[in-house]
Amino acid sequence: MFVHAYDKQQISQSIFYSSSGENLEQTNDVILPQSLFEPVALLSSHLTFLGRTLSSATLTPLYRRIVSRLAEHLFQRQIMHHRRLTLQDGKRFHSEYQLWVESCQVALHSALGDSKARVETPWRRLLQAGRLLSAEEDVWTAILDATFGRQSDDEWEHAVHGHLGSLQLDREDVAKILQMREDCDR
């Protein structure tokens, strides 16, 4: 569960905590930038307000439109137009994306209940890109081999589905994302 402040002046002093109590500012040896907390808290406060004032039928499509645009902006800016990334960069991006999603889940909990899938759906493409960029060792190798190998698209989809879940990215996008990692030799 998140504990967060909605006041912009206090955001730099706020620390986000997951339900396990671990400090999300440093997750898996990844330090999230302090500049991220203000926009995440701002989105959270706006979504909380919308969740309290709008019906679920009105809130859901509005949420999807807002978040789809935000997620697409992050995808294009941070992933598709970025320099070569290290594994550590990939882990940081993945942690940032998870923070956005978890913040939305908390903000909309009272309005939408425990509908994790409904909240997460507009973020899926971005989350999958983050999983690709943060993949390690065996998973990284398996995805590389499947994407750049001679497998048919159906075989590729089946192989990658096990690591990413329901695919929102096509093979070409996955290849571009994988090639952004500096340890991609393909």
84 domain-assigned: yes
23 domain-assigned: yes
168 domain-assigned: no
* Domain residue limits at 85: 8-135
170 domain-assigned: no
**What is the tens place of the pLDDT at every residue in 131-182?**
999 999 999 999 999 999 998 999 999 989 888 888 889 999 999 999 999 9
Domain count, the chain: 1
Range in 18-22, 66-70, 89-93 the model is least confident about = 18-22
42 domain-assigned: yes
**pLDDT winner (highest mean) among 1-5, 61-65, 112-116:** 61-65
103 domain-assigned: yes
C-alpha of 59 from chain center: 21
14 domain-assigned: yes
58 domain-assigned: yes
C-beta of residue 134 within 8 angstroms of C-beta of residue 87: yes
Instruction: Tell me what the mean pLDDT of segment 106-124 comes to.
Output: 88
